[in-house]
Amino acid sequence: MRVPFLELKRESERHRTELERAIARVLARGWYILGPELEALEQEFARYLNVPFAAGVGSGTDALSLALEASEAVRPGEGDEVVTSVLSAAFSALAILRAGAIPRFADIDPATLQIDPRCIETGFGERTRAILPVHLYGHVCDMRQIGELARRHRLIVIEDACQAHGSRLDGNALGTFGFAAGFSFYPTKNLGALGDAGMVVTSDEGICLRVKKLRHGGQSRTYYHELPGCNSRLDEIQAAVLRLRLETLEAGNDTRRHMARAYDEAFADLDLTLLPVRPGLEPNRHLYPVRTRRREELRRYLSDHGIETLVHYPVPLSRQPALSRFVLPGQEFPVAERAAREIFSLPLNPELTEAEQQFTIEIVRRFFQK
């Protein structure tokens, strides 16, 4: 049996008729940028999260950088600093750079692999203005401690919720705890477009209005550029597709949680470290990462049996050539370094069949029992 990590065409084929209708609706209207589909998506996604305002943009990276800029937490070129997790996709830190600020890094919690509130202050400098926690793998950062830390130091919090569509803490959706949050609709996300797209959500109307200006060249009205903006607009076809897929997001997340529980139960007695799920935390299970000192041996064994796996993420941001210069003198990240050597992700998505998951479980167990 061949078990792919993810095959996007499975979902597209299953919903081909609905997707074609959504796209045809846009084509019939002939309005492709900043139109009624985007306005409807912004309202529907905000309602889904129970947050007042949302602004669609071109990507998750743009969502984070524009949220930082619109919140006025950082001023481009002034040397302002933003602390984020050292273990993440590089786009978290690149968004900080695009906003004109300096990324600083903090180590992660050894159990959850989320940014460790106890380590955030190690990334503080004289011009620290914000914290950008990353809800990695769709799991949940400790927003209670992060919020308290931010209040104590008079910082703002911008959540990187790019992997956290539908994840919740104490019943509240991630993306609603900070000044603003950025979501990605990259095709592999739980809520994915047919290309790049993103969204800023916020409870502050002023931030939302500034994002909407910035995404459209900083225009207050056509040809009048009030702010030095950019071109980052979520187009009407992607908005129509996302509106359709938003309808099934909760069902898809429930399927992911069910599959993750099956993995958890099957691997409980093995020499694998799993991410904990604690009371009050409801991750969307965007990815299913596991940890083992025998990672490469296990991945080869799975590959030999036709099971595809990926590593999220093999290189901490502190060692990325584009970002290593932003590490403060004397900083070390031992937890992230170890996790990067041990972690990899097993297939988990709503299109994975029960037979494929059971085969994956069988082969993992066989590896540890041989």
Structure tokens at 169: 């803490």
Give me the mean pLDDT over the 202-227 stretch: 96
Give me the mean pLDDT over the 215-237 stretch: 96
**Tokens 């069949």 belong to which residue?**
353
Structure tokens at 154: 């008079």
pLDDT for the residue 76: 85
Give me the mean pLDDT over the 110-124 stretch: 97
CA-CA distance, 259 to 350, in Å (whole number)? Answer: 9
Sheet holding 288-291, edge to edge: 273-274, 288-291, 343-346
75 pLDDT band, cuts 50/70/90, is: confident
Count other Cβ atoms within 10 Å, centred on residue 364: 23
CA-CA distance, 240 to 263, in Å (whole number)? Answer: 34
Q: What is the pTM of this model?
A: 0.97
What's the full length of the chain, in residues? Answer: 370
Instruction: Flag whether pLDDT at 119 surpasses 90.
Output: yes
Instruction: Flag whether pLDDT at 162 surpasses 90.
Output: yes
CA-CA distance, 349 to 9, in Å (whole number)? Answer: 13
pLDDT in tens, 181-212: 999 999 999 999 999 999 999 999 999 999 99
Letter for the amino acid at 247? E
Give me the mean pLDDT over the 71-88 stretch: 94
Instruction: Flag whether pLDDT at 12 surpasses 90.
Output: yes
pLDDT in tens, 275-289: 998 899 999 999 999
Give the strand pairing for 156-160 and 180-184: parallel
pLDDT in tens, 227-265: 999 999 999 999 999 999 999 999 999 999 999 999 999
Q: Are residues 135 and 164 in contact, defined by beta-carbon separation less than 8 angstroms?
A: yes
pLDDT for the residue 370: 79
DSSP single-letter state for residue 178: S
Domains and CATH numbers, the chain: 8-106+113-246 (3.40.640.10), 249-369 (3.90.1150.10)
CA-CA distance, 26 to 236, in Å (whole number)? Answer: 7
Q: Are residues 70 and 210 in contact, defined by beta-carbon separation less than 8 angstroms?
A: yes
pLDDT for the residue 360: 98
Distances (CA, A) of 162 to 101, 137, 267, 341, 360: 20, 9, 28, 24, 27
Distance from CA of residue 322 to its chain's centroid?
A: 20
Structure tokens at 7: 């095959």
pLDDT for the residue 278: 86
pLDDT for the residue 277: 84
State the chain's mean pLDDT as an integer: 97
